[in-house]
């Protein structure tokens, strides 16, 4: 291969692949030969134009794995050849006054910020300090550390404790990861609400109870609920699903504005918290969880899509022709 294939987002439902020069790593950066890149729900909402969070002309891709293929000046050259993922969240040195890194006023995310080339590409260049070693995790699962980190952060935000009952609305990759992490954090009852039978079956193979969305209202109340979708219906369901004084954590970014039942929050003194991306600590914890084997997402990953067909996979997911929890683009290099 002589160049760097990239998948460019052209606007709603359109992408194309073009070949560019291989980007060299600058000072403090590494170049990664991409092996796998996951299609995220947020990429899909951007792809359809619904969320407005992806801009035409950009190269998406924020959950990926690969092998370090080059190190810039001031970077440890022994990184070259290592199997890695990267934490795509970039923040300032503290000058903005942020206390927690994912609250940075200058926060940028690789593959989301239109000015930074993401990982739907053969090569991606990232700051060396964002590289996270896979430490034995295989490259396919390595690309799934990022969505697992989203769940680790949300479970921390919702303060799930031993013995609690948890309800999750949305059985996509984040919802499934939430079930696993909530269970590992001591939740004794975890129920996942999801309409799609394929997604419900996966949660059930992991030992979780599942219900259809219209069955949530009949369930016993939970202590904590997570909305991994983010639309009116799931907000109403997750708020109504927790007991008085319970916590509802919003993770999914389905729509920028939704209607919520105010009285259901005020009168029942329910706490509403948001959770966005992850701290560095949560990302590293997700890597450690996966490396330990306590979390096994092997069954969540569908058949790989080769680079030339990744646009088809986007369209299939966006139009519900496929319901895989995670489709990975493979560059074919491993």
Site residues (CB under 5 A) for Zn ion, limited to 158-217: none
Helix H or strand E segment including 38 = strand 29-38
Nearest residue (CB) to Zn ion, 40 versus 179:
40
CA distances to 48, 98, 130, 280 from 101, in Å: 29, 6, 13, 8
Least separation, in Å, of the C-beta of 179 and Zn ion?
Answer: 17
Query: With CB under 5 A, what is the number of residues at the site for Zn ion?
Result: 6
Does 255 bind Zn ion (CB under 5 A)? Our answer is no
Question: Cα separation of 23 and 99, whole Å?
Answer: 33
Q: Which residues, 23 to 42, sit near Zn ion by CB under 5 A?
A: 40, 42
The pair of three-digit structure tokens given for residue 220, joined into one six-digit string: 């016993």
- Do 277 and 254 form a contact (C-beta atoms < 8 A)? no
Q: Give the count of beta carbons closer than 10 Å to the beta carbon of residue 104.
A: 19
Looking up tokens 């092996």 gives 35
- Find the shortest distance in angstroms from Cβ 150 to Zn ion: 7
Q: For Zn ion, which stretch binds (CB under 5 A), given 78-86, 96-104, 190-198, 261-269?
A: 96-104
Distance CA 72, CA 109 (A): 21
CA distance 211 to 194: 6
CB of 62 to Zn ion, least distance (A): 6
Region from 97-105, 218-226, 276-284, 307-315 binding Zn ion, contact rule CB under 5 A: 97-105
**Which of 96, 212, 217, 303 lies at the binding interface for Zn ion (CB under 5 A)?**
96
Among 39, 75, 104, 155, binds Zn ion (CB under 5 A): 104
For Zn ion, the closer CB: 1 or 96: 96
> What are the two backbone dihedrals, phi and then psi, of residue 220, each rounded to the nearest 5 degrees?
-60, 150
Q: Looking only at residues 55 through 94 of this chain, which bind Zn ion when binding is defined by CB under 5 A?
A: 92
- Judged by the rule CB under 5 A, the positions of this chain that interact with Zn ion are 40, 42, 92, 96, 98, 104
């Amino acid at each position: 291969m002589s160049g760097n294939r990239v998948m460019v987002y052209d606007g709603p439902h359109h992408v194309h692949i073009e070949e560019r020069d291989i980007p060299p790593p600058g000072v403090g950066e590494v170049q990664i030969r991409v092996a796998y890149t996951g299609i995220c729900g947020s990429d899909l909402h951007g792809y359809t134009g619904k969320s407005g969070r992806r801009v035409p002309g950009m190269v998406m891709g924020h959950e990926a794995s690969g092998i370090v293929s080059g190190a810039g000046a001031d970077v440890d050259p022994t990184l070259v050849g290592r199997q890695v993922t990267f934490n795509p969240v970039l923040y300032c040195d503290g000058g903005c006054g942020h206390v927690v890194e994912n609250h940075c006023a200058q926060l940028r995310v690789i593959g989301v910020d239109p000015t930074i080339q993401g990982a739907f590409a053969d090569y991606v260049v990232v700051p060396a300090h964002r590289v996270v070693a896979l430490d034995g995790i295989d490259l396919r699962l390595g690309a799934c550390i990022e969505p697992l980190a989203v769940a680790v952060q949300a479970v921390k935000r919702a303060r799930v404790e031993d013995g609690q009952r948890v309800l999750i609305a949305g059985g996509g990759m984040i919802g499934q990861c939430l079930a696993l992490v909530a269970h590992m954090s001591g939740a004794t009852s975890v129920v996942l609400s999801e309409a799609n039978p394929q997604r419900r079956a996966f949660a059930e193979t992991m030992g979780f109870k599942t219900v259809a969305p219209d069955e949530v209202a009949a369930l016993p109340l939970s202590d904590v609920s997570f909305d991994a979708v983010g639309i009116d219906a799931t907000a109403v369901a997750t708020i109504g699903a927790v007991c008085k004084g319970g916590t509802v954590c919003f993770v999914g970014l389905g729509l920028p504005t939704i209607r919520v039942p105010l009285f259901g929050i005020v009168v029942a003194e329910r706490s509403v918290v948001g959770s966005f991306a992850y701290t560095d600590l949560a990302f590293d914890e997700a890597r450690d969880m996966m490396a330990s084997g306590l979390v096994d997402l092997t069954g969540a990953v569908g058949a790989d899509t080769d680079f030339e067909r990744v646009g088809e996979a986007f369209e299939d997911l966006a139009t519900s022709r496929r319901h895989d929890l995670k489709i990975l683009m493979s560059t074919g290099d491993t």
